[in-house]
Amino acid sequence: MSNRLKVAPNDLSAFWMPFTANRQFKQAPRMLVAAKDMHYTSSDGRQILDGTAGLWCVNAGHCRPKITEAIQKQAAELDYAPAFQMGHPIVFELANRLVDIAPEGMEHVFFTNSGSESVDTALKIALGYHRVKGEGSRFRLIGRERGYHGVNFGGISVGGIVTNRKMFGTLLTGVDHMPHTHLPGKNTFTRGVPEHGGDLADELERIVTLHDASTVAAVIVEPVAGSTGVLIPPKGYLQRLRDICTKHGILLIFDEVITGFGRLGTPFAADYFGVTPDIMVTAKGVSNGVIPMGAVFVTKEIHDAFMTGPEHLIEFFHGYTYSGNPIASAAALATLETYKEEGLLTRGAELAPYWEDALHSLKDAPNVIDVRNIGLVGAIELKPIDGQPTKRAFSAFVKAFEKGCLIRTTGDIIALSPPLIIEKNQIDELIDCIRDVLNTVD
């Protein structure tokens, strides 16, 4: 293993790293070379406690035997099958199993390879649906400030993160945004769902009135906004969005790329909040992050609306070479089996109270201005250094890695989302590590 651990700095230049401070990284690389269950192994041989499930995706923990074996077996048996006009049994089996655990009403699944692709697929389904129903005038898409919907053009258009949009021209036209729901000062140090801000959903009614409902195709939101720093929907907010969409014939899309597959202690956020969308976007946890895969769930009504016209014609002109590919499908099936055997889709609910107390014990640590939590997600918001936003959190991230725990930062917010197999003593270890870091970082 030792040769694999060593990469000389001048070998690092060819790879242009995604969402990374490339120059900083290449001066002081943080390399991971192995993983097992709750831990990574770093290139200098240290065990790193994974406080982020990779990038919010390794929900069952790392290198789980069932998933590894399924991939190995599938790779040796049927490596690839054309995704268009051909099939292979395992992807049909997977779709059935996914529909079994999905919220009531989600009856069909379209496969992609990432959250970004799932988002763009969902937006296209929404536009196509209205058109096949004879309502092609519904072309507008409504997202939300601070929303993250991946990095493809559809996703950044409906997304609301300025840095992800500003370089890329006019984006999709016909898009509007609702305000985000973060109300510092009102909901600070809230445990779980915040009290204030449910009425912000009424902004949707205002936007729909402005454009006229007959021009609006869909509204897309993350039930809990993850990437932008864990913004939890205020009490009643999502139900109000649902009611407004239903009233005006607008499709409601939940982007559950992070919240899906047990993150909140229920299979999906739709279950947690008791609000069912028309389209549900997933990725990440569907295959435990092991092999790229995304899945878009739709209602029977949406699916069936496309199933018209001569039967030899393609109904929906969309799909990817790797949609539902055999190895990803095998990985996803084994992932679902692992979730089921270990009760992982609901384990977060059992751990949530302990997790909440542990997180909120950081309330009095230096520079902490807010703590938020829901399910097995947490956020610790830090006071930015004057004139140097993001620097304090980034230093905390680097220091935490040196101390042996992997955390994630966005802006000056530390976001946590451990694998759902985490034990209570590991929660303590993670929180103690962060407390130490906050006590020492500038």
Q: How many CB atoms lie within 10 A of CB 6?
A: 11
The DSSP element (H or E) to which 42 belongs, if any, is: strand 39-42
Closest by Cα among 353, 343, 344, 352 to 375: 352
Token couple for 55: 């990038």
Report d(CA 190, CA 192) in Å as an integer: 6
Picked from ligand PXG, ligand PLP, none, the partner binding residue 386 (CB below 5 to 8 A depending on kind) is none
Single out the segment in contact with ligand PLP by CB under 6 A; choices: 180-188, 197-205, 335-343, 431-439. Answer: 335-343
Nearer to ligand PXG, 226 or 324 (CB): 226
Paired sense of beta strands 47-50 and 405-406, if any: parallel
Picked from ligand PLP, ligand PXG, none, the partner binding residue 278 (CB below 5 to 8 A depending on kind) is none
DSSP assigned state of 108: E
Picked from ligand PXG, ligand PLP, none, the partner binding residue 408 (CB below 5 to 8 A depending on kind) is ligand PXG
Residue 102's contacts (CB-CB under 8 Å, 6 or more residues apart) are 267, 268, 280, 297
Nearer to ligand PXG, 54 or 88 (CB): 54
Q: Is the distance from CB of 141 to CB of 218 less than 8 angstroms?
A: yes
In angstroms, give the least distance from the CB of 336 to ligand PLP. Answer: 4
Token couple for 119: 């988002």
Q: For residue 154, give the amino acid letter.
A: G
In angstroms, give the least distance from the CB of 21 to ligand PXG. Answer: 14
Token couple for 323: 């949609």
Report d(CA 395, CA 64) in Å as an integer: 32
Closest by Cα among 145, 58, 51, 29 to 414: 51
Picked from ligand PLP, ligand PXG, none, the partner binding residue 9 (CB below 5 to 8 A depending on kind) is none
Report d(CA 256, CA 248) in Å as an integer: 23
Picked from ligand PXG, ligand PLP, none, the partner binding residue 372 (CB below 5 to 8 A depending on kind) is none
In angstroms, give the least distance from the CB of 158 to ligand PXG. Answer: 10
In angstroms, give the least distance from the CB of 222 to ligand PXG. Answer: 4
Picked from ligand PLP, ligand PXG, none, the partner binding residue 100 (CB below 5 to 8 A depending on kind) is ligand PLP
Residue 141's contacts (CB-CB under 8 Å, 6 or more residues apart) are 123, 126, 127, 154, 157, 158, 172, 174, 175, 217, 218, 219, 220
Contact set with ligand PXG (CB under 6 A): 55-56, 114-116, 119, 148-150, 222, 226-227, 255, 257-258, 283, 408, 410
Among positions 100-139, residues that touch ligand PLP (CB under 6 A) are 100-101
In angstroms, give the least distance from the CB of 267 to ligand PLP. Answer: 7
In angstroms, give the least distance from the CB of 116 to ligand PXG. Answer: 3
List Cα–Cα distances, 16 to 22, 30, 79, 249, 326, in angstroms.
7, 15, 29, 44, 29
- Sign, Cα dihedral of 414, 283, 122, 234: negative
Picked from ligand PLP, ligand PXG, none, the partner binding residue 175 (CB below 5 to 8 A depending on kind) is none
In angstroms, give the least distance from the CB of 393 to ligand PXG. Answer: 12
Residue nearest ligand PXG (C-beta atom)? 115
Helix ranges restricted to H, 361-423? 391-403
In angstroms, give the least distance from the CB of 320 to ligand PXG. Answer: 12
Picked from ligand PXG, ligand PLP, none, the partner binding residue 339 (CB below 5 to 8 A depending on kind) is ligand PLP
99 binds ligand PLP (CB under 6 A): no
In angstroms, give the least distance from the CB of 35 to ligand PXG. Answer: 17
SS (H, E, C) 155-201: HHHHCCCHHHHCCCCCCCCCEEEECCCCCCCCCCCCCCCCCCCHHHH
Picked from ligand PXG, ligand PLP, none, the partner binding residue 410 (CB below 5 to 8 A depending on kind) is ligand PXG
Residue nearest ligand PLP (C-beta atom)? 340
In angstroms, give the least distance from the CB of 167 to ligand PLP. Answer: 40
Per CB under 6 A, the list member of 216, 345, 420, 431 interacting with ligand PLP is 345
Among positions 4-63, residues that touch ligand PLP (CB under 6 A) are none
The residues binding ligand PLP (CB under 6 A) are 100-101, 336, 339-340, 343, 345-346
